[in-house]
Each structure stands twice: as structure tokens, then as C-alpha cells.
């Protein structure tokens, strides 16, 4: 499903491009006064960018650049593409910032809990199984060499899962592509991770809604020249014996996160950062999230469960973006 469309407003043309990628949907809106902007070319280029990123980073494509490394037990160095290197090395930076809450080597645990590419019937693994797999986990078991853009596994069973960061990277990459065409007003979104630049068709900042699971009320956020990502445990989970198991894994325990944070929305300069931090914050829980976000001076908006309901909490860096 790929759509392209355009509508006219205030002498501006809005170009809409949407489709499916990375197991989710994407949607791009470009405002342009330039009647000659070649919509079909932009659409084709964006499709190509997304296909290339998937062919490098997907764990769902068995012959992707990443899968080939994941399936190999070799401890030799592997030369990798600049993009793959950039994402893995950025992921490790976020791991350090979040004290290991974000960790792309959790892949085997994601798979063990039935959320990965070989999606099985969701079962609850035994503590022994978890402990055994935890031996292969840890971002410090990835050795990166910047000079040669190569990666080396420090454990033969190391397996890297970029699902918590690749969407953000792709959003940033598409934004860079649009910038290169001097397009200055757009909204690029993949599966809820997005970047907003300039203004919308009404010459206002882009307006984004955050759903509240409580009452279907939507919080409206006005975004300009900033990226936003949301992680939530009320979308992708399974339920067994009345317990919800989230697809976000706490690398420390080897188990899906279990606390009162229902969702976290992060504002940051890049979508890659916001995407990874949102997942990390889900692991850290409400109190540590607010503390770290304030330290990093980035905006966060949390939806927290109490017994019956959900309530919201946000910090001073998020507040200026709330429209209503």
C-alpha cells in the first residue's frame, strides 16, 4: 500500500506520501510552494532509502547486512556500511547514557519472549532459560572500530536487534534527503517516531496528538524543528493469566518491563535519539525517566497507571510544546 497525493491551500501544495515499512506505516507530508516539485521522484527516492535501510538493519530480513552478522558465530572483524556502523555506535552511546537500559543485544531475549522475527506462540520462559540467554547479552560485547568501520563480536552468540532505534534513524535520513532538496516544511513519521520541520498547510507549527489510553482524549503538541518518539506498553504486548507482558525487555532482569509507566513521549533533536531514549525510559520507569530527562534537558511526557486510571506527568522541557 503506497499512497501519493496532493492538496492545495494558501498557495501551498501539500504532498502526501505514505506506505508500509519496518512492520508499520509511514507517512510524510511536505508543504511546498514550488509547483515543479517532482512528487513521483521524491516518492521513489524515499522508498529506495527505506528499502536500503531495511536491507542493512532488519532482523526480519534473513539476508540483511545485520542478519548475516547475527547468524554468524565468527569472532572476526566485519567491515560494515557507514549507516549500520552509525546506528550501532549511536545505540551504544545511548546504552551508556541510560546505564544499560537501552541495549541492542537484548535480541535473543526479545526472541525468547516471542516478540522477535521468529514470532512464536507467546510463552513464559523459565528462569533457567533466561539466565542462560543472558550470558550472551550486553552492549559491551560489541567491539566497534571507527577507523575501519568494522564490528567484532566478543561473544559468538551475540545478536543485535535495532528495532528500538532503526525507525528513528530512517526518519532522520528522510529528513536529510528532503533538506537536500531545499524542502523546509515537512513532517516525516514512521510508526509514531517523527520529525517536524517548519510549518504546516495553515502556516502553523505541526500539530501532533498523543493518545491517552484512559479516555481517548488526545493531547495536542505543537512541533517545529524537533523530533518526537513515543514508546508504550499498551500496544505491543501479550496477556497470559491476566498479566501483560510488554515487548520492551529490561536487560538487567531479562524480563519484560513491569511497572506503572504506560507510555513515554520524548522530544529531542534527532528522531534516532528520541526513539532509543523512549525505549530506554520505558525500562527505567517514571522517576528515573524524569531525573535523566532533566539532566539531559530534553522534554518528556509520561502516561502513568495507577489502580484504575492513567495520569500524566511532564517536565519543564516538554511544557512549552503543549498546545492543548
Report d(CA 195, CA 205) in Å as an integer.
12
Q: Which does 98 bind (CB under 5 to 8 A by kind): ligand ADP, Mg ion, none?
A: none
Binding flag, residue 275, Mg ion (CB under 5 A) = yes
Order across the sheet with 12-21: list the strands.
Answer: 3-9, 12-21, 24-32, 186-190, 193-197, 226-232, 261-268, 299-305, 310-314
- Options 30, 69, 84, 103; binder of ligand ADP; rule CB under 6 A: 103
The residue number with the shortest CB distance to Mg ion is 279
Report d(CA 127, CA 130) in Å as an integer.
5
- Options 59, 230, 279, 289; binder of Mg ion; rule CB under 5 A: 279
Binding flag, residue 314, ligand ADP (CB under 6 A) = no
Size of the site for ligand ADP (CB under 6 A): 20
Report d(CA 23, CA 28) in Å as an integer.
17
Report d(CA 292, CA 315) in Å as an integer.
11
Distances (CA, A) of 96 to 101, 133, 267: 9, 21, 19
Binding flag, residue 248, ligand ADP (CB under 6 A) = yes
Minimum CB distance to ligand ADP smaller for 161 or for 189: 161
Minimum CB distance to ligand ADP smaller for 103 or for 172: 103
Minimum CB distance to ligand ADP smaller for 205 or for 249: 249
The grid cell for 265 is 513521549
Report d(CA 283, CA 100) in Å as an integer.
10
Report d(CA 248, CA 255) in Å as an integer.
8
Which one of the spans 68-76, 98-106, 146-154, 296-304 is the region binding ligand ADP (CB under 6 A)?
98-106
Neighbours of 154 (CB within 10 A): 11
Report d(CA 278, CA 165) in Å as an integer.
10
Which one of the spans 1-9, 28-36, 207-215, 248-256 is the region binding ligand ADP (CB under 6 A)?
248-256
Minimum CB distance to ligand ADP smaller for 85 or for 115: 115
CB of 142 to Mg ion, least distance (A): 19
CB of 275 to Mg ion, least distance (A): 4
Report d(CA 215, CA 232) in Å as an integer.
16
**Chain centroid to CA 307:** 29
CB 49 within 8 A of CB 188: no
- Options 28, 90, 161, 245; binder of ligand ADP; rule CB under 6 A: 161
Q: String of b and e for 44-82 (b: at least 16 CB within 10 Å)?
A: ebbeebbeebbebbbbeeeebbbbebbeeeeeeebebee
Binding flag, residue 142, ligand ADP (CB under 6 A) = no
Binding mask 269-288 for ligand ADP (x = CB under 6 A): ------x--xx---x-----
CB of 196 to ligand ADP, least distance (A): 18
The grid cell for 224 is 517545529
Residues 202-231 that bind ligand ADP (CB under 6 A): 231
**Chain centroid to CA 126:** 29
The grid cell for 130 is 533466561
Residues 226-255 that bind Mg ion (CB under 5 A): 231
- Options 232, 254, 285, 286; binder of ligand ADP; rule CB under 6 A: 232
Binding flag, residue 191, Mg ion (CB under 5 A) = no
Residues in contact with ligand ADP by CB under 6 A are 102-104, 106, 110, 115, 161, 163-164, 231-232, 236, 247-249, 251, 275, 278-279, 283
Instruction: Give the residues lining the site for Mg ion (CB under 5 A).
Output: 164, 231, 275, 278-279
Amino acid at each position: 500500500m503506497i499512497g501519493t497525493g496532493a492538496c492545495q491551500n494558501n498557495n501551498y501544495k501539500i504532498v502526501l506520501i505514505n506506505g508500509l515499512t519496518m512492520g508499520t506505516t509511514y507517512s510524510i507530508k511536505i508543504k511546498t510552494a514550488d509547483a515543479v516539485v517532482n512528487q513521483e521522484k521524491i516518492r521513489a527516492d524515499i522508498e529506495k532509502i527505506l528499502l536500503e535501510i531495511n536491507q542493512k538493519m532488519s532482523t526480519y530480513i534473513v539476508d540483511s547486512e545485520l542478519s548475516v552478522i547475527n547468524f554468524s558465530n565468527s569472532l572476526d572483524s566485519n567491515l560494515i556500511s557507514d549507516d549500520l556502523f552509525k546506528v550501532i555506535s549511536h545505540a551504544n552511546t545511548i546504552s551508556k547514557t541510560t546505564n544499560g537500559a537501552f541495549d541492542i543485544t537484548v535480541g535473543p531475549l526479545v526472541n525468547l519472549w516471542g516478540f522477535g522475527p521468529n514470532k512464536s506462540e507467546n510463552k513464559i520462559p523459565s528462569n533457567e532459560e533466561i539466565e542462560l540467554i543472558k550470558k550472551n547479552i550486553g552492549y559491551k560485547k560489541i567491539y566497534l572500530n571507527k577507523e575501519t568501520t568494522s564490528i567484532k563480536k566478543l561473544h559468538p552468540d551475540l545478536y543485535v536487534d535495532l528495532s528500538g532505534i532503526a525507525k528513528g534513524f530512517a526518519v532522520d535520513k528522510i529528513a536529510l534527503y528532503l533538506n537536500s532538496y531545499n524542502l523546509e516544511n515537512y513532517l516525516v513519521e514512521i510508526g509514531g517516531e517523527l520529525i517536524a520541520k517548519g510549518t504546516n498547510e495553515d502556516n502553523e507549527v505541526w500539530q501532533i496528538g498523543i493518545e491517552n489510553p484512559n479516555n481517548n482524549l488526545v493531547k495536542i503538541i505543537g512541533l517545529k524543528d524537533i523530533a518526537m518518539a513515543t514508546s508504550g506498553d499498551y500496544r505491543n504486548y501479550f496477556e497470559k493469566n491476566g498479566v501483560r507482558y510488554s515487548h520492551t525487555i529490561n536487560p538487567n532482569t531479562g524480563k519484560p518491563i513491569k511497572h506503572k509507566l504506560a507510555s513515554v513521549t520524548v522530544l529531542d533533536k534527532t528522531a534516532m535519539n528520541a526513539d532509543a531514549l523512549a525505549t530506554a525510559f520505558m525500562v527505567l520507569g517514571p522517576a528515573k525517566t524524569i531525573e535523566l530527562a532533566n539532566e539531559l534537558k530534553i522534554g518528556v511526557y509520561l502516561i502513568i497507571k495507577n489502580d484504575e486510571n492513567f495520569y500524566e506527568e511532564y517536565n519543564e522541557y516538554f511544557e512549552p510544546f503543549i498546545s492543548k
